[in-house]
Chain A
Amino acid sequence: MTAFLIIIIAALLAISVWQISKIAKIGKAPDPDSDLSEVANDMDNKRNGQGMLLFVIAMYIMMIACFVGYQDFFLPDAASAHGAEYDNLLILTTVVIMIVQFLTQALLHWFSYKYHGKKGQRALFYADNDRLEFIWTAIPVVVLAGLILWGLFSWNEIMDANMDDDPLIIEVYAYQFDWRFRYSGSDNTLGDANVRFIEGANQLGIDPTDVDGMDDAVSNELHLPVNRPVIFKFRSQDVLHSAYMPHFRAQMNVVPGMVTQFKFTPTVTSEDYKSTEFMTQKVRKINEIRRQKSKELLAAGDVGLDPYEFEYYLLCNKICGVNHYNMQAKIVVETEEEFNEWLATQETFDQTLAKAEN
């Protein structure tokens, strides 16, 4: 609220400065060339030229401040095998574009300042230069070719959902406004499914006549064994959703009427990820914010906020209805043994069916 007031005050100040400048004008004799009084004169050119110079300096300060101040906004190191490659490409691209940004903005605003109009100054009639044009066509071509090639190789690798390395197959099932996860069981094959089979306890529409589906297990948490490739098969029951797992650099839309897929290998367990230096600091900072907020809430007679502990999450990232903003699920990455132990406690589909019959 205080900042809002500050803005209003600044705006009012600006208005008053302008009004005062108008009053100052009234005292002067009318400009003989009154026709051109609303066209920029030398003073305007100079002031606005200087403004451009100040602006670019302020912009540089802002850019640097953002990169420094918002360091911990960047996602921590990826927790998936392909994520490291992703991060490298992102860093390289960011460095390239920031270099271009610094140079071009400098030239643009410096020229705006340096060549601001003065009476009697002559502009240079300079209409063409094939060599210059060639240079600045060629440089982007070369730089972009490099980025494109690297990007395409990574893309092909990431999108190649082959079965060679014995991946675990998990179905991610989306509906307004939650997620379910279907494990394919000991045969590592998902049973057929269609919304037309949805009935009673069979909430995911698993085909009750398909033997492959009998050992499938449905959960509302996503558990993954560390260092084993996983192929996710995405299915939606109603509208488009998007399964976004930012810490794994993974995202795929979930489309009703078709099955989409994404494959990655989680490489860091939840426990290890929580205890990284980055994450402990980030969580400490967040909890400090929450403590402050809780104090205010309690003072107002509300319920305070719970302290936060980091868990990997999956969220919906494609507008899907009024509760789109809270469609999330917890992801747990654990050791192979822990994972198997957990999976054994999950109810299989034939057990679900049997229960429903009783």
Chain B
Amino acid sequence: MGQDVAAVHDDHGHDDGHHHHKETFVTKYIFSQDHKMIAKQYLITGLIMGVIGIAMSLLMRMQIANPEEPSVIFEALLGDWAPGGVMDPGIYLALVTIHGTIMVFFVLTAGLSGTFSNFLIPLQIGARDMASGFLNMISYWLFFLSSAIMVGSLFVELGPASAGWTIYPPLSALPEAMPGSALGMTLWLVSMAIFIASSLLGSLNYVVTVINLRTKGMSMTRLPLTIWAFFVTAIIGIVSFPVLFAAALLLIMDRSFGTSFFLSDIYIQGEVLAHQGGSPVLFEHLFWFLGHPEVYIVLLPALGITSEIIATNSRKPIFGYRAMVASILAIAFLSTIVWGHHMFISGMNPFLGSVFTFTTLLIAIPSAVKAFNYITTLWKGNLQMNPAMLFSIGLVSTFITGGLTGIILGDSTLDINVHDTYFVVAHFHLVMGISALYGLFAGVYHWFPKMFNKMMDKNLGYVHFWMTAIGAYGVFFPMHFVGMAGLPRRYYTNTNFPYFDDLADTNSLITYFAIFTAVGQLFFAYNFVKSIFFGKKAPANPWKSNTLEWTTGDKHIHGNWAGAIPHVHRWPYDYSKLNEDDEYVIAGQDYVPQHIPLQDKEEEMNH
């Protein structure tokens, strides 16, 4: 490949001991402290949770397309919750709730950020492992435990939590209000409390690692945008997740110990409850103080991954590196002061609504800058259409489409009439669901060779991308119009409103597209599993990328580099850089990896 690892004295020599100790099956595959193995554990757990979450969405869509009609699928999967094959309204709400919870937290937070932060932070900054491998291991196992509890809650007698993923009290606080608010809700809260602990341990580790363990020469302005995104995501997580923990704790107290943080003046099932003085609006504030940053916790890693992949596959530097970093920081800051846009009509003071409208529409600005910068990066590139690249372009597309409708929802006036309709469902699925999933897929296709030393099948990847791209728009674009008709979300059936009768065909169409999209995911699942075992052996740097992870060679050792850790001499985006004499900086090669020192005749640029 013509790239020579700079032979510099290794000042991390004391770390070498890392990879000499003997590994047993348990320490290597189960209680591993190697960030690469932990990343794979996160990925596989996340993907399994994803299968459950997507399957649930299909069940919901089938119910909406054929409301209250018996189905053998329901009978087989839901058992007593689908008497005679007709889905019970309570279990519909349970599916709504657990689908949301699983997709947001377990797939797109842990599965996406957990996987790639763990995998890429040490490799791309030139570190042998996370700052604390032990805490990292604990973080994964707490995540596993919380996943197990969440899945386990599906099997309790009265059903899992059913109050929506936002679990607004009093509905979630009172077992009298709905069956899902009994044991199912307790398990949900326990699971989420453990999840938060896991997420915090992970995030603290990421932040400490990025700040302290960068290799020589890796200044903050030479960090790949992936790392910037993971770093800032971790900070948002540290700031906001504890607030959800507080909310969950107070809710547990209201449920089990008779306190009244969120409850007041309630008459239910023929009885007045003793609770007095609490406010559900307080819970909404606490919930959305996490809930909104959570959107960016999900999205920023995807955007970081995409930045890296688009630059690599365009064979061009990412356009406006500093603006991209500034946008990430601006989005992170603004994301913590916009939560109230979920609550315009919650009964909070309308003046607050004005403030939140203002901050919310501000966040459109850095988002727009990012979108324009991606498009400019493609301009005059030499685009290598690998599956990862396709998913990255797809992400930019859905990010724009979904983001634009945010301008309607973020405007307190316009929100009045589209709040909690299918318009919202369409908006957030495109902008954070589909976009973040594309980021996840892009990341898997791009770093699979590094993770497993094997290549994924590109043709299966193409089939997967095109089916997903067509299906996703087929599902969510028409859904905006259903929402514009004023169709509320979380309705088990719409047949009680004849006004919505003419939406039924469109709802069926959406369901067909959803099934089509889900079938597309089977190609991915097959490709993923097949390639782990039977994939072609990956070259050392298949995508001709500049970042450090491609310099480790193909041996997977705890400690990452068999020899010295490479030093860094440039930013990660020297693609197609030319000398003064109009030749590539390294002759015959359109990229200059980060560890290559400045060449003769090369102009140094400060990006």
Task: Give the B-binding residues of A (Cβ under 8 A).
Answer: 3-4, 7-8, 10-11, 14, 18, 21, 34-40, 44-45, 47-49, 51-52, 55, 58-59, 62-63, 66, 70, 72-75, 86, 89-90, 93-94, 96-97, 100-101, 104-105, 107-109, 111-112, 115-118, 121-129, 132-133, 136-137, 140-141, 144, 147-148, 151-152, 154-156, 158-159, 175-176, 194-196, 198, 205, 234, 237-240, 242, 244, 246, 249-253, 255-258, 260, 282, 285-286, 289-290, 293, 305, 308, 310, 313, 315-326, 328
Contact = CB atoms under 8 A, between A and B. Distances in A.
Interface stretch (B133-141, B187-195, B456-464, B559-567): B456-464
Contacts of A128: 319-322, 607
A33 to B, nearest CB: 10
Interface of B: 89-90, 93, 96, 163-164, 168-171, 174, 177-179, 263-268, 272, 277-281, 314-323, 345-347, 350, 353-354, 357-358, 361-362, 364-365, 368-369, 371-376, 378-386, 389-390, 393, 396-397, 400-401, 404-405, 407-408, 411-414, 416-417, 419-421, 455-460, 462-463, 466-467, 469-470, 473-474, 477-478, 480-482, 484-486, 488, 490-494, 496-499, 501-504, 506, 508-509, 512, 515-516, 519, 535-539, 542-543, 573, 575-578, 590, 605, 607
B485 A75 contact: yes
9 contacts: A18-B463, A37-B455, A40-B384, A75-B486, A112-B385, A115-B382, A147-B361, A252-B345, A257-B279
Contacts of B362: 144
A135 B578 CA distance: 27
Given A66-B481, A112-B383, 17 more contacts: A14-B463, A35-B538, A35-B539, A55-B469, A62-B474, A90-B408, A93-B414, A111-B381, A117-B381, A127-B321, A148-B357, A244-B419, A244-B486, A286-B499, A305-B498, A325-B491, A328-B497
Contacts of B375: 104, 107-108, 111
A23 B481 CA distance: 44
Contacts of B470: 55, 58
Contacts of A242: 345, 419-420
Contacts of A320: 171
Contacts of B376: 126, 132
B268 A238 contact: yes
A115 B504 contact: no
A117 B385 contact: yes
A257 B459 CA distance: 59
B96 to A, nearest CB: 8
B345 A315 contact: no
A319 B462 contact: no
B407 A123 contact: no
B501 A308 contact: yes
Nearest to B178: A321
A238 B364 contact: no
A53 to B, nearest CB: 12
Given A62-B477, A196-B272, A256-B264, A48 B390 contact: yes
A115 B397 contact: no
Q: Name which of A11, A123, A136, A205 has the most chain B CB atoms within 10 A of its CB.
A: A123
The residue in A94, A104, A141 that gathers the most chain B C-beta atoms within 10 A of its C-beta is: A104
